[in-house]
A and B are shown apart, each in its own frame.
Chain A
């Protein structure tokens, strides 16, 4: 190589092409250059600011509505002291959860728009080949575009922080709560951006890749629920379950005072083996976020009454994944359980401690990673195959 460079009028060699550490630095600085290029363009487009403004207003309205709704119901409860129910934890949990769910929903809607034309939009504008003909590698281009899309989407998350903090301040939640939530939202946005950028490198036209990205996100959110619901029907099985019997007729307490006298006998019952299909639930972004948030320990004394929507999602999924191993029957191993033991069993069942989110997150990462890898393959030059109907430049 040196021979050639000496005889050729040309530039000085590139920096940082030799040595292991230098190569890494060179690779990263290439990514940074792409991010700078992308961010300059994004920050100068008015659409992004308009979207950000709309986002801010919508989240503000949602927060206000949730707060107003809570205030109204709290007022009614105060006017009826006979109800005996005390407000569990103030509005904090409700507002926080409502805002969190909305932020996630809108993030899932915004992220594909910010990412799914990153590569083929450039291809259509003729600027992708300009990058490809430089010393940038396909990986640097793809990572740069992914990071830029992610940063642009994270700005939306940052905008919603005031409202999440508002929910926090209203009470009942720890800062750890909000940190974990923000972290998981950021990760989910990254996954959607990865999916979008990957698809945009694969598809010929921006419109097509944006639609496909939206459908993929919709698939994660909605299709996973539908698939679970339908798949559950296929898992029906008849099993023999111990039930109190022969009839549920009232039997007066025995002399010893316990209800042990109720005999248990096996009864044919239909159960759903949800654990066989619960995996599709785990890939749902809402499930992943809800499940990753730490909730307080629940036992019979500290019941599920105070649990919010997200905790419900988390527990529901964990139960589905656990399957019908502990059916709600007063009978265990043919023996009728005393009342307090029954409750304890129920809470044990509800308090599923095996987290689902690492599983769901891994599945999402595999999906996003696969799409990014396929996108990387499509960006390699000299190109072998081109997407149908596209020119490289």
Chain B
């Protein structure tokens, strides 16, 4: 039987993805070292970290392609090492390398994938049509993948990952190469998929984007889990605000007078940034500045909540 020990009662199975103490070495390189990672069903979980942090390696292990040296992985409570077929039916994986069969048409690629997942023959045509429409490639369905743009190939890759209606989606840099319109669509699509009860794991560098879609984030660096937080927690930790005024010196003087710690940022548009813990504080400060006669031009979060965490981690590391 494929149910793990912990799941005597139906429903008590931890749906989604969980990895505990997972490590993987390549020769002498510790790509992933004792990472803990949880991505519950029905949520979008962001996997964030600098280049070479082990994100792709972790995703490969979660996708049952790579065997961890140690640690356990559960996909909907199933062990990829023992029930690889059952796990693979549940996983939709979108690699960071596009990897399309260039001479095949978009439709043929999806049909082939459906066959590889042994979907019933009768439903394949309809399923492929649905997905082509979902990723807006229906007009290009007959074109060989070679002629598709990078963003279109990216969308095709997403459709490919969705062909067997998996319950867990592992997306490695899904937004790279997408135009702004497609990004918004991807965002909505991922939210919809999470809303349908799927566990969605997204690795990305574009942090501001993840703010909009992720329910939680796992920060990894140098193969380790650095931080795991929900977006609410990220928002609560305070954000850095950037303020510009017509007279920046007057602004700085006022901030000093208010006993606030601030930083003068060098940049094209000179600004002052400071850390504010909550929105009420931000509103109060803006009111104070304006009533004090400072001509504020802009007053906005300098970075997204996740970016804030990310940058903090970066500075802590130094």
Q: Is the CB of A129 within 8 A of B99?
A: yes
CB distance from A140 to the nearest CB of B (A): 9
Q: Is the CB of A37 within 8 A of B95?
A: no
Q: Is the CB of B118 within 8 A of A16?
A: yes
- Cα-based distance from A336 to B275 in the complex (angstroms): 115
Residues of chain A from 362 to 393 with CB closer than 8 A to chain B in the complex: 381-384, 386, 392-393
Q: Is the CB of B26 within 8 A of A134?
A: no
Q: Is the CB of B118 within 8 A of A26?
A: yes
A125 within 8 A of B: yes
Residues of chain B from 218 to 259 with CB closer than 8 A to chain A in the complex: none
B155 within 8 A of A: no
A13 contact set on B, CB distance < 8 A: 89
A16 contact set on B, CB distance < 8 A: 118
Interface size class of A (residues with CB under 8 A): 35 or more
Q: Is the interface of B mostly helix, strand, loop or mixed?
A: loop
- Cα-based distance from A9 to B162 in the complex (angstroms): 13
B7 contact set on A, CB distance < 8 A: 3-4
Q: Is the CB of A15 within 8 A of B108?
A: no
A382 contact set on B, CB distance < 8 A: 61, 64-68, 80-81, 84
Q: Is the CB of B103 within 8 A of A41?
A: yes
- Cα-based distance from A17 to B63 in the complex (angstroms): 21
Q: Is the CB of A135 within 8 A of B88?
A: yes
Residues of chain A from 98 to 138 with CB closer than 8 A to chain B in the complex: 125-127, 129-136
B64 contact set on A, CB distance < 8 A: 133, 381-382
Q: Is the CB of A1 within 8 A of B99?
A: no
A6 within 8 A of B: yes
B293 within 8 A of A: no
B97 within 8 A of A: yes
- Cα-based distance from A392 to B97 in the complex (angstroms): 11
A8 within 8 A of B: yes
CB distance from A151 to the nearest CB of B (A): 16
A386 contact set on B, CB distance < 8 A: 26
- Cα-based distance from A132 to B84 in the complex (angstroms): 11
CB distance from A114 to the nearest CB of B (A): 16
CB distance from A38 to the nearest CB of B (A): 9
Given contacts A4-B3, A384-B67, contact A126 B84 (CB under 8 A): no
Q: Point out which of B15, B64, B116 has the most chain A C-beta atoms below 10 A from its C-beta.
A: B116
- Cα-based distance from A45 to B144 in the complex (angstroms): 12
Residues of chain A from 41 to 96 with CB closer than 8 A to chain B in the complex: 41, 44-45
- Cα-based distance from A135 to B118 in the complex (angstroms): 8
Given contacts A9-B196, A136-B116, contact A130 B80 (CB under 8 A): no
Q: Is the CB of A133 within 8 A of B112?
A: no
- Cα-based distance from A16 to B197 in the complex (angstroms): 28
B77 within 8 A of A: yes
B43 within 8 A of A: no
A40 within 8 A of B: yes
CB distance from B303 to the nearest CB of A (A): 31
Q: Is the CB of A133 within 8 A of B61?
A: no
- Cα-based distance from A1 to B7 in the complex (angstroms): 11
For B121, the closest partner residue in chain A by CB is A15
- Cα-based distance from A136 to B104 in the complex (angstroms): 19
Q: Is the CB of B89 within 8 A of A11?
A: yes
B68 contact set on A, CB distance < 8 A: 382
A333 within 8 A of B: no
A251 within 8 A of B: no
- Cα-based distance from A115 to B9 in the complex (angstroms): 50
Q: Is the CB of A14 within 8 A of B98?
A: no
Contact digits for B107-118, partner A, Cβ 8 Å, 1 yes 0 no? 010001101111
B148 contact set on A, CB distance < 8 A: none
Q: Is the CB of B118 within 8 A of A15?
A: yes
Which one of B2, B67, B120 contacts A12 once the chains associate, using CB atoms below 8 Å?
Answer: B120
Q: Is the CB of B66 within 8 A of A383?
A: yes
A15 contact set on B, CB distance < 8 A: 118-120
Contact digits for B24-61, partner A, Cβ 8 Å, 1 yes 0 no? 00100000000000000000000000000000100011
- Cα-based distance from A12 to B165 in the complex (angstroms): 9
For A136, the closest partner residue in chain B by CB is B116
Which one of A8, A14, A33 contacts B112 once the chains associate, using CB atoms below 8 Å?
Answer: A33
- Cα-based distance from A272 to B66 in the complex (angstroms): 55
Q: Is the CB of B198 within 8 A of A9?
A: yes
A30 within 8 A of B: yes
A10 within 8 A of B: yes
CB distance from B238 to the nearest CB of A (A): 37
- Cα-based distance from A247 to B68 in the complex (angstroms): 82
Q: Is the CB of B90 within 8 A of A10?
A: yes
Q: Is the CB of B85 within 8 A of A135?
A: yes
Given contacts A4-B3, A11-B89, A17-B85, contact A135 B116 (CB under 8 A): yes
CB distance from B38 to the nearest CB of A (A): 17
A254 within 8 A of B: no
Q: Is the CB of A135 within 8 A of B117?
A: yes
B103 contact set on A, CB distance < 8 A: 40-41, 44-45
Given contacts A30-B116, A33-B116, contact A392 B65 (CB under 8 A): yes
Given contacts A33-B116, A393-B60, contact A8 B104 (CB under 8 A): no
Q: Point out which of B56, B118, B119 has the most chain A C-beta atoms below 10 A from its C-beta.
A: B118
Q: Is the CB of A127 within 8 A of B100?
A: yes
A131 contact set on B, CB distance < 8 A: 116
A14 contact set on B, CB distance < 8 A: 85, 89, 117-119
A127 contact set on B, CB distance < 8 A: 99-101
For A44, the closest partner residue in chain B by CB is B103
Q: Is the CB of A6 within 8 A of B10?
A: yes
Question: Which 7 A-B residue pairs are closest in the complex by CB-CB distance?
Answer: A126-B99, A126-B97, A382-B67, A134-B116, A14-B118, A44-B103, A3-B10
B residues within 8 Å of A by Cβ?
A: 1-3, 7, 10-11, 13, 15, 26, 56, 60-61, 63-68, 76-78, 80-81, 83-86, 88-91, 93, 95-101, 103-104, 108, 112-113, 115-120, 144, 160, 164-167, 196-198
Show 8 A/B contacts (Cβ-Cβ < 8 Å), sorted by A: A3-B3, A3-B7, A4-B13, A7-B15, A15-B118, A126-B99, A127-B100, A130-B95
Knowing that A10-B90, A133-B64 touch, tell me 13 more A-B residue pairs with CB under 8 angstroms: A3-B7, A4-B10, A9-B167, A14-B117, A14-B118, A41-B101, A41-B104, A125-B99, A130-B95, A133-B88, A381-B64, A384-B67, A393-B60
